[in-house]
Amino acid sequence: MALLVDRIGELVTNDPTTGEGPLGLIRDAAVVVTDGRVAWVGPRTRAQPCDDVLDVGGAAVIPGFVESHSHLVFAGDRAEEFAARMAGEPYAAGGIRATLAATRHATDRDLTANLIRLADEYRRQGTTTLEVKSGYGQTVRDEERSVRIASAHTDEATLLAAHVVPPEFEGRADDYVRLVVEELIPAAAPSARWIDVFCERGAFDVDQSRAVLLAGKQAGLGVRVHANQLTAGGGVRLGVELGAASVDHCVHLTDADVAALAGSDTVATLLPSADFSTRGPYPDARRLLDAGVTVALGADCNPGTSYTTSLPLVVALAVRELRMTPAEALWSVTAGGARALRLDDVGHLGIGARADLAVLDAPSYLHLAYRPGVPLVRDVLKDGRRG
Ligand SMILES: N=CN[C@@H](CCC(=O)O)C(=O)O
Ligand SMILES: [Zn+2]
């Protein structure tokens, strides 16, 4: 059965062969969906009649957001830590340990309920593809169950086996890395698609990160890295060296980091809501874009640095604070996220793509940045279906 999404005032396809400019814009458009995929897209006057019609009444329609960086398997929150930060405390990697303790005590059922709650929040705000990381367990048992819980809800589950050195390994990071390589990854990798590591002062250094990522690669996982969030360490170059799909945060970059990214297939994923919520500096998106680096944007939902599921907020921050154009920001949060996950059938609405789209309560995608904080996502289709 075919569905006609009709009377679209402005359609963003992200397919420059179908519409105008890099966003592939079509005005007065329609989309035909069959079997959960885009079967046809073009001016509405040329659309064939279909059994089912969704009349959006002149609204803008965009590809569903692709979130390539979230931490949804956790218990508790850290509102007090946030308040202390707003009163002047700096963010440090060690805060993760508070969530570690709460997560280890939580049941699978509690962790699942929290994940579903946050994934629903993401969906209501237009996100149709969601990567989810483990990383608040840091024992073989807790990482294995975290990534298993994530994988029941997404194909994009990431084993963040080395997020922080757990308290029982205080001063013995190398021993923890050995446990990760020898026991944790073999136990948890079957539930994951990706391996990730927090390569940062206070977390894991470059050699420790390399050992973890290589063990993950060996187990068949794709590589992603939390890199250069707090300092200009070696995380970005390590990611490029290992062929990472994405290096994430990228706040503190040297010229050599930018050059390495520009000469690679590795995406730089920027997470401005984390910088907003830690009151940290923002990354220099223009420097990356001008060097030809592929830039993605994510919300990085987690209880420590960025307790938001709003990719519309991220678009507004990217435009206002990172000086990206609205078109660049929208591309980065849809097609860019897809590149960061090495997916080619999401993040755009070309023929054959998944029919994942968001209908906005607005005549143009420009309103995502122009009307910050306003709930503009009116309807969401995932694989051509609502809900
Ligand atoms: N930077 C490391 N990981 C998370 C923060 C985790 C936490 O503070 O709980 C992030 O992506 O920002
Ligand atoms: Zn993160």
Q: Is 96 in the pocket of ligand 1 (CB under 6 A)?
A: yes
Q: Is 334 in the pocket of ligand 1 (CB under 6 A)?
A: no
Average pLDDT over residues 326-342: 99
CATH of the domain at 53: 2.30.40.10
pLDDT at 387 exceeding the cut of 90? no
DSSP lists the bridge partners of residue 29 as: 8, 43
Q: Please tell me the predicted confidence (pLDDT) of residue 203.
A: 95
Task: Say yes or no: 235 and 124 in one domain.
Answer: yes
Task: Say yes or no: 110 and 190 in one domain.
Answer: yes
Q: Please tell me the predicted confidence (pLDDT) of residue 92.
A: 81
Return mean pLDDT, the chain.
Answer: 97
Number of domains comprising the chain: 2
Q: Is 250 in the pocket of ligand 1 (CB under 6 A)?
A: no
With a pLDDT cut of 70, the percent of the chain lying above it is 100
d(CA 29, CA 10): 7
Task: Say yes or no: 142 and 283 in one domain.
Answer: yes
- The model's confidence at residue 20, banded by pLDDT at 50, 70 and 90, is very high
Using CA atoms, how far residue 125 sits from 65, 216, 248, 272, 367, in Å, is: 9, 32, 22, 17, 14
Report the atom number in ligand 1 closest to the C-alpha of 136: 9
Global pTM? 0.98
Tens-digit pLDDT profile for residues 278-311: 999 999 999 999 999 999 999 999 999 999 999 9
Task: Say yes or no: 219 and 70 in one domain.
Answer: yes
pLDDT at 91 exceeding the cut of 90? no
Residues in the chain: 387
- The model's confidence at residue 95, banded by pLDDT at 50, 70 and 90, is confident
Question: Can you tell me which residue has the tokens 């029982």?
Answer: 168
pLDDT at 35 exceeding the cut of 80? yes
Task: Say yes or no: 334 and 357 in one domain.
Answer: no
Q: Which domain holds residue 229?
A: 65-341
Task: Say yes or no: 77 and 14 in one domain.
Answer: no
Task: Say yes or no: 156 and 294 in one domain.
Answer: yes
Task: Say yes or no: 254 and 374 in one domain.
Answer: no
Closest C-alpha to ligand 1, atom 12:
305
Annotated binding-site residue? 305: yes
Torsion of CA 115, 120, 122, 127, to 10 degrees: 120
Q: Please tell me the predicted confidence (pLDDT) of residue 73.
A: 98
Distance 163 CA to ligand 1 centre (A): 8
**Is 323 strand, coil or helix?**
coil
Phi, psi of 186 (to 5 degrees): -55, -35
Annotated binding-site residue? 71: yes
- The model's confidence at residue 123, banded by pLDDT at 50, 70 and 90, is very high
Average pLDDT over residues 71-75: 98
Task: Say yes or no: 46 and 79 in one domain.
Answer: no
Distance 122 CA to ligand 2 centre (A): 16
Task: Say yes or no: 162 and 208 in one domain.
Answer: yes
CATH of the domain at 127: 3.20.20.140
Distance 44 CA to ligand 2 centre (A): 41
Q: Which two tokens stand for residue 54?
A: 């969704």
Q: Please tell me the predicted confidence (pLDDT) of residue 125.
A: 98
Q: Is 289 in the pocket of ligand 1 (CB under 6 A)?
A: no
Tens-digit pLDDT profile for residues 234-274: 999 999 999 999 999 999 999 999 999 999 999 999 999 99
